Amino acid sequence: MRHSTLALLTVVTAAGVSYGYAGSPADAPLATALNRTVSVTLPDSHNVFPPGEGADIANSQCMICHSAGMVTRQPPLSYDEWKLEINKMRSAYGAPLPENQVDSLAKYLTAIAGKPQGK
């Protein structure tokens, strides 16, 4: 039985992109050859969520990944739909929003970008 050895090298850049190498250790690139600095400039946004009870949660939590405009341009959602969206962001994408803020945020988003009641 023949065994082979592979070298596995993963480099994670500041932008979160990883590059990998799987091959013979003798052919592996030197880590110093892959070591580089990546500079990323994110757009500066002065736009925040409209005032209201829960705006502080939206500004501190949603804007980690989204612009206020991106969220407010979504189709109108009901309270239950916003709650599902928020919990999807928490479970599928790792949004650090504490569970005890989900209801408040859903109420706020429904108030500013929600379906009219009864629809």
What distance in Å separates the CA atoms of residue 68 and residue 62, rounded to the nearest whole number? 8
Tokens 């309270």 correspond to 79
Q: What is the pLDDT of residue 37?
A: 72
Q: pLDDT tens per residue, the chain (119 residues)?
A: 444 444 444 444 444 444 555 566 666 656 555 566 777 665 566 789 999 999 999 999 999 889 898 899 889 999 999 999 999 999 999 999 999 999 999 999 999 988 866 54
- pLDDT reported for residue 41: 65
Query: CB count, 10 Å around CB of 117?
Result: 8
pLDDT reported for residue 4: 46
Fold held by 55-113: Cytochrome Bc1 Complex; Chain D, domain 2 (1.10.760)
The pLDDT value recorded for residue 51 is: 93
Q: What CA–CA distances, in Å, run from 7 to 21, 38, 97?
A: 7, 24, 38
The residues spanned by each domain of the chain are: 1-40, 55-113
pLDDT at 3 (0 to 100): 47
Distance (Å, whole) CA 116 – CA 63: 25
